Amino acid sequence: MAMEDNDIIQLFFDRDENAIKETSVKYGNYCSSIARNILKNWEDAEECVNDTYLKAWNVIPPNRPTMFKAFLGRITRNISFNLYKKMNADKRGSGQIPFILDELAECVSDGKDPYKELEKEEIIKAINSFLEKLPQEKRIMFVRRYWYSDSVVDIAKRCGVSENSVSVNLNRLRKRLHNYLYERGFEL
């Protein structure tokens, strides 16, 4: 029986190493699936999941995550994507990322200047507001594709629609996101 999130977090606060074990039991598969969507290679993905536990160990305390699962998923996504960039993987062997990045390229201008942290915060707020206005089904499609890096096939199965429907919806959502951000002064 998996432990409650609060109890696991308390183990982190108590500096009890069982925190890692319990996290792995409850959320190991969840983190692995995120890492594997990005990296595809099991060994690399597993390394990222282990790094996720280490990172969680280092930041809890002082942090006390309110949504532990999403908190771990976010760390996994971050570490996995950093490894992906480091490996500079080619299009054929690296999961969904090359395709997802190509899709996101439709929303940006490929400008050279990196965005500052403050500006990024503002963009996140705008994206959250964009997501809030979407019907649930479309929001789930967007988050599964661009946050979880799921394949179109997996999204179609999850949402009970055809792959074509997912592709068409994602295409429209990217355009809508681009326009939404542009109208709010973000020239990405």
Partner 1 sequence: MKKEELYEIIEGIDENYINEAEIVQLKRRQPAWMKWTAVAACLCLIVIGAIQFSVNRNDNTNVQQWSQSISAKDYFKNSHKANSQNVGSSASLVMPPYAVAVSINDKRSVLENAGVLPIMPSHLDHGFEVDYNGDGSLYKVTFLWMRRGEHGLDEYSDLQLIASPKELHEVNDVIAFSVDEDGNTLPEVVTVTERDGILIYARGKENEEKIIAWQTKYGWYQIVGSWNDSYEDMVELLDWFWEHPLSLSDFENIEEGKIVYSNRIDYPDAFCDQIPDFTALGYISEIETVNVGLCDGNLVPVWFEGIYTRGTVRISWTISIGADANAWKACLGRPNEITEEKLNDALSQSQSVNVFFDSPCMATLKIENGTSSDAWEIIQALQK
Residue numbers 102-131 binding partner 1 by CB under 8 A: 102, 104-105, 107-111, 114-115, 120-121, 123-124, 127-128, 131
Q: Which of 54, 14, 51 is nearest to 6 (CA)?
A: 14
Burial class (CB in 10 A: 0-12, 13-18, 19+), 103: middle
Among all chains, which residue has been given the structure tokens 């994602």?
170
Q: Which of residues 11-70 bind partner 1 (CB under 8 A)?
A: 28-30, 32-33, 36-37, 40, 42-43, 45-46, 66-67, 69-70
Is residue 183 a contact residue for partner 1 (CB under 8 A)?
A: no
Which residues in 143-182 contact partner 1 (CB under 8 A)? 143-144, 146-148, 150-151, 153-154, 157-161
Q: Using CB atoms within 10 Å of the CB of residue 186, give its burial: 0 to 12 exposed, 13 to 18 middle, 19+ buried.
A: middle
Complex with partner 1: residue 14 or 67, whichever CB lies closer: 67
* Residues in contact with partner 1 by the rule CB under 8 A: 28-30, 32-33, 36-37, 40, 42-43, 45-46, 66-67, 69-71, 73-74, 77-78, 81, 85, 92-93, 97, 100-102, 104-105, 107-111, 114-115, 120-121, 123-124, 127-128, 131, 136-137, 139-140, 143-144, 146-148, 150-151, 153-154, 157-161, 188
